[in-house]
Structure 1
Amino acid sequence: MAMEMQAPLLSKNYLVIFDEMNILNLSSLSLWDLGKGKGRVSTYLPIKGFVDRGHNVYYITNHVSQQAGCFDGITVIKAKTILTNKRQFLDIIVYPFTLLCFLYVSIKICRKHKPDVIYSHTAHLSLPAFILSKIFRAKYVLRLYGVSHVKSMRFKVSYLFLYMAFSLKSDMYILTNDGTEADKVALSFGIPQEKIYFLKNGINKEWSTYPINSNLKKQFAPNEEKILLSVSRLANWKQVDWIINVFAKLLKIDTNVRLIIVGEGPEKKYLKQLSIDLKIDDYVSFVGSQLQANIFNYMNMADVFVSMNALSSLSNPVFEAMICGLPVIALNRGTTSELIKNGENGILIDDEQLGELPRIINNLLENNEERKRIAENGRKTILEQWPSWEERVKKEIDLIENLVDNKV
């Protein structure tokens, strides 16, 4: 029987006495990137944590998939910009309109609810957040979820906004340790070390104790086939097409294996067609986006997890796989090697080794003891070195309260 579970909940045993704050968030992200309860949780959970701590939270976004309204105590307001979420270079062309739109919507909120803190959750909204902080004498926080490398036009456009974001003085920089070395980028722009808080995402540590969903596993592996798993947004920088191509070669070695791909995104149609063109679609299951709270069901029943992220594999799905005792094979990009030690708690693949990957996966699938050893070491690494979501959220809220109280 499938185990039901809510999205990560934060205990209220850490509540402290602090004056109620008004927190304004400007973002081009939705609270959940794949629909409520699905996908990225690193935006939603800290914001929800402020609500749980007794603060008033306003979230202004222009993301097309995010509805306006009150969600779990978070007041969401839509900024109706043009050409939203289309192409990066269009962001520059329409930027003056985007700036005015966010300022117009935000000023209406700020006049009614004077902000204590203004967050910019994306680099290109740093300018309106900065302006608002000066007008309303609020603390300004730049919150980035990683940085992009300048390797294409898309990333060059991102760099222009990143340059603007780091050129504007923020009271605090909260940067995600996702393997893209955002802290070093900030330092290269002359940001003082004492203003940078380089935080790891949290993990649901209780997942380490959950049993296998035998009914679900039987659905995907009725003849006890081995299961290869990928969990990510289906976007080009996640390089799920690499996984599909490797899996096609793996099937030439052993056909008693299946690939499950969890996620949604702009590349889904292409990826499905790729599996058809490679004549492996009978072996590949696209299960779409899943409630984040139920991802553990797929992690627990799989045999090997694969991440081919172009920037870094220090991502939540990798942490979740490891906490569930699932051995991880990851591309050695960014600072992934700071978490995964090759042959100890996972397997790292350098670019020049990609041709060997089918054989490496097959060897791991055939060696039950080796898989178990790597998986247990991975689980131990996350349990010992990574914060729980409760700890991670508490850290951010404490930082902001101390900032407003002039303690940092």
Structure 2
Amino acid sequence: MKILHISALPIWSMNGRGGMPSLRETLNGHLREKHEIIFIAPEYDLFSDDLSPIPGVRGSKYGIEIAKCSWLLPLKRFRRHIRKMRESNSLPSPFRWLINMSILFFLTVTFLLKAFKVCKKDAFKPDLIYAHNQYSALAGFLLGKLWKVPNVTRLYGTFLADLMAKPFVSLRYPTAAAGYLVPSSLLICTNDGTRGDEVARKFRISQKRFRFWQNGVEPPSSPPKMTREDFLTRNPKLNINSKWIVSCSRLSYWKRIDRMLNALVVCKKEGVDCQLIIAGDGPEKENLQNIAKKSHIEDSIVWLGAVDHDDIWGLLNVSDVFTITNDVTNRCNPLYEAAWATLPVVSVKDPSTSDLLIHGENALLADKENPTALGQYLCQICRNEKMKEKMKDSQKRLSASFWTWEERMKAEVKELEKVIRPLGR
């Protein structure tokens, strides 16, 4: 197949290094099955107020084409101005609706123009249009109609599940609903704990064209050889003798890294020799650093920034505990990888992970608004080697049930081939 990918999401969003492994592994999976792809992505991050282009875009094997989105800069400035006036990260509903709809409209036009230009230049006649994220769905549908090829929409979660009982959901949140309601030959939704399958049922999406799949895990090709000493040479602030509590996350508000900071305060009061190692970058970094400074724990935190994915495996391999404290869902790639690395987990109680994390077996789980309990659990696992080893064994059994990304993508490619087969392509 020749697959044209259009994506509202960048492959690498964090200084050209970290980003969305699920998007990257999708592209890798299509290439691994010998399909030819072109990937079109916007020049700027649609969802942050940063006015600079996404830095350090890498990966020529993906045939990356950058769509210029100069129209986005005034919208970003307007959004940032409104937030500054309100002294809040949230926007009033009318402004949010207007901005999101404007992004959807202009991005659709941009993708259409860029797709025709790229395909004409490269004599690339696609067999399939693959749209990543709801903001790309409309462009994917229109390109499919114009070229008379199937279109696939890929959603990486949703916030609509708890809103579906309210009236006029599709009108109040049209961009989020577009991922479901824009016609597609196949709709693939990630099982990430945001209950996208419930949303699909309420929107009456035909189960014949709906796939609800958990992400895979891409284990290292060989056991990580990096040692604590190797990490120490890169960041002298690391203490080789401390317990290492690791977090791998984009620093966005809903990731609630502040919960980890509050838990670390408890650890320090209890005299536990530990360091919180935060791998990731994002808009909340400065705010989090200020919280750490006010709480007098800045010396116990190591900010690694964006980290190459291979090095993440090395970091997990030499750490003692993994922690994740998201608001919306904690069922995500870093959790799968921590389980694969057999790390005990300290997290928050979350229905989305109830089949993955069992309190006392492979994890210790606190109420979301109880930082004291979260901190005490971190102390407990740092001090109790016997409990730690027991949890490592439980994680090994859990990870044996996971798809690898290769397995996950083989299943997807089979579905894509079924989609184009009726057209005789």
TM above 0.5 = yes
Counterpart amino acid of 2:394?
N
Contact 2:8-2:42 within 8 A present in 1 as well: yes
Distance 1:158 1:59, change over 3 A: farther
- Which of 72, 76, 79 is residue 61 of structure 2 equivalent to? 72
How many residue pairs get aligned? The number is 384
Contact 2:160-2:199 within 8 A present in 1 as well: no
Q: Could you state the TM-score of these two structures normalised by the residue count of structure 2? A: 0.82
Distance 2:262 2:248 in 1: 16
Deviations 1:347-381, CA, capped at 9 Å, x for gaps: 23233544322112211211111111112201220
Contact 2:27-2:62 within 8 A present in 1 as well: no
Shift of 1:39: 3.1
Contact 2:346-2:377 within 8 A present in 1 as well: no
Distance 1:66 1:226 in 2: 33
Shift of 1:98: 2.5
Deviations 1:318-375, CA, capped at 9 Å, x for gaps: 1111111210112223511121122222223233544322112211211111111112
- Which of 325, 331, 335 is residue 318 of structure 1 equivalent to? 335
Quick check: 1:401 aligned with 2:412? no
RMSD of aligned Cα (Å): 2.7
Contact 1:337-1:348 within 8 A present in 2 as well: no
Distance 1:38 1:195 in 2: 32
Query: Where in structure 2 are there 5+ consecutive unaligned residues?
Result: 45-53, 80-95, 164-168
Distance 2:295 2:174 in 1: 39
Distance 1:98 1:298 in 2: 38
* Percent of aligned positions that are identical: 28
Shift of 1:397: 1.8
User: Which shifted more, 195-204 or 139-148?
Assistant: 195-204
Distance 1:75 1:166 in 2: 26
Contact 1:49-1:394 within 8 A present in 2 as well: yes
Shift of 1:299: 1.0
User: Which shifted more, 49-58 or 175-184?
Assistant: 49-58
Counterpart amino acid of 2:31?
V
Match of 1:57 in 2: 37
- Which of 355, 373, 389 is residue 405 of structure 2 equivalent to? 389
Shift of 1:212: 6.3
Match of 1:16 in 2: none
Contact 1:312-1:332 within 8 A present in 2 as well: no
Distance 2:301 2:223 in 1: 28
Quick check: 1:257 aligned with 2:261? no
Q: 3-state DSSP class of the match of 1:42? A: helix
- Which of 54, 64, 83 is residue 72 of structure 2 equivalent to? 83
Contact 1:140-1:172 within 8 A present in 2 as well: yes
Match of 1:47 in 2: 27
- Which of 293, 296, 314 is residue 310 of structure 2 equivalent to? 293
Contact 1:177-1:200 within 8 A present in 2 as well: yes
Match of 1:241 in 2: 258
Distance 2:243 2:58 in 1: 44
Distance 1:70 1:329, change over 3 A: closer
Contact 2:188-2:213 within 8 A present in 1 as well: yes
Counterpart amino acid of 2:66?
I
Query: Where in structure 1 are there 5+ consecutive unaligned residues?
Result: 1-20
Contact 1:29-1:63 within 8 A present in 2 as well: no
Shift of 1:261: 0.8
Distance 1:222 1:309, change over 3 A: closer
Contact 1:275-1:281 within 8 A present in 2 as well: yes
Quick check: 1:174 aligned with 2:183? no
Distance 1:81 1:379, change over 3 A: farther
Distance 1:225 1:67 in 2: 34
- Which of 182, 194, 198 is residue 184 of structure 1 equivalent to? 198
